[in-house]
């Protein structure tokens, strides 16, 4: 499954291609040259041709890229033609913000339930969700065909939670906790570290001085 031999650097650029191509489709633009794509995305035209050649070269000399076909193909490569079930653990400030955003469901990622360990949170409603007791996560994951866990708890207890999720058969963790989780190779962890991103901004602003 997947294109395991494609470099991570290319894979990290694919969501951006996918987003820009989606914007073009919204504007009814059906074909585009690598030069035009370069002008809007900001990667060089040669970088774009090289990246897209990894997947069998969609472009035709003198025609450019068929936007719809390329969008669909990149979607497939990213696995976006699949629906995913997710659970979110830690229904605090960040967890609630994520649960309140409707865009993930539209993209095929459905949050099935929210969990929290705090008895005062359990039973509260966020959007359509009643917050469930995190004691019951394993059972829920097994019974509801859950692929992805979204972790929004504090650092403390995060590795223990990851171990439980792994034992329950989770396939992927979208990790917002600023901790490098130790999981078996078969489980994919994607870290989202907002503070690291902010520090990068700080560096770049400093470099502008
Ligand atoms: N809020 C943000 O914008 C933000 C920004 C950057 C990083 N983060 C990171 O996201 C995580 C959550 O931050 P927050 O601001 O939402 O915190 P929060 O305190 O508002 O929410 C955390 C929730 O997790 C629950 N919880 C704690 N341990 C648990 C466990 N073992 N199992 C289940 N639930 C548990 C708590 O009861 C609480 O409701 C933290 O690791 C934080 O560093 C948050």
Q: Which residues pair with 173 in a beta bridge?
A: 149, 189
As for ligand 1, residues whose beta carbon falls within 6 Å of it are 89-95, 115-118, 121, 134, 152-155, 157, 161, 176-178, 194-195
Instruction: Specify binding-site residues.
Output: 90-95
CATH T-level assignment (fold) for domain 8-77: Arc Repressor Mutant, subunit A (1.10.10)
Residue 179 pLDDT grade (very low, low, confident, very high; cuts 50, 70, 90):
very high
pTM of the model: 0.91
Q: How far is the CA of 149 from the centre of ligand 1 (A)?
A: 14
Q: State pLDDT tens for residues 35-55.
A: 999 999 999 999 998 888 887
User: In this structure, which long-range contacts are made by residues 25-29, counting pairs with CB atoms below 8 Å and at least 24 apart in sequence?
Assistant: 25/67, 25/68, 25/71, 29/67
Residues of the chain above pLDDT 90, percent: 81
> 145: phi > 0 → left, psi -120 to 50 → alpha, else beta; which?
left
Cα distances (angstroms) measured from residue 130 to each of 83, 105, 125: 22, 17, 4
Q: How far is the CA of 150 from the centre of ligand 1 (A)?
A: 11
* Dihedrals phi, psi of 13, to nearest 5 degrees: -85, -20
CATH T-level assignment (fold) for domain 84-195: Rossmann fold (3.40.50)
Q: How far is the CA of 31 from the centre of ligand 1 (A)?
A: 44
Q: How far, in Å, CA of 165 to CA of 69, rounded?
A: 37
The 8-class DSSP code of residue 158 comes to H
User: Which residue has the CA at smallest separation from atom 5 of ligand 1?
Assistant: 194
Q: Are 111 and 99 in contact (CB under 8 A)?
A: yes
* ipTM for this model: 0.97
Q: How far, in Å, CA of 204 to CA of 202, rounded?
A: 6
What is the structure's pLDDT at 124?
96
Q: Which of 127, 190, 67, 165 is nearest to 114 (CA)?
A: 127
Residue 58 pLDDT grade (very low, low, confident, very high; cuts 50, 70, 90):
low
* Domain boundaries along the sequence of the chain: 8-77, 84-195
User: Which residue has the CA at smallest separation from atom 38 of ligand 1?
Assistant: 92
């Amino acid at each position: 499954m997947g294109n395991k031999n494609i470099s991570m650097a290319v894979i990290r650029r694919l969501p951006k291609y996918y987003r820009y191509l989606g914007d073009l489709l919204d504007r009814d633009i059906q074909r585009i040259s690598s030069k035009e794509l370069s002008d809007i995305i900001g990667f060089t035209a040669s970088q774009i041709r090289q990246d897209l050649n990894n997947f069998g070269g969609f472009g035709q000399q003198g025609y450019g890229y068929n936007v719809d076909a390329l969008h669909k193909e990149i979607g497939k490569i990213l696995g976006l033609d699949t629906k995913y079930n997710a659970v979110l653990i830690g229904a605090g400030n960040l967890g609630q913000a994520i649960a309140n955003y409707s865009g993930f469901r539209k993209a095929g990622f459905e949050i099935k339930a929210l969990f929290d360990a705090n008895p005062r949170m359990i039973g509260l409603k966020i959007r359509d969700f009643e917050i469930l007791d995190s004691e019951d996560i394993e059972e829920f994951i097994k019974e509801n065909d859950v692929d992805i866990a979204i972790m929004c708890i504090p650092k403390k207890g995060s590795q223990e939670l990851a171990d439980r999720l792994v034992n329950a058969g989770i396939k992927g963790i979208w990790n917002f906790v600023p901790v490098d989780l130790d999981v078996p190779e078969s489980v994919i962890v994607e870290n989202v570290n907002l503070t690291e991103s902010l520090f990068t901004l700080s560096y770049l602003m400093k470099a502008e001085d």
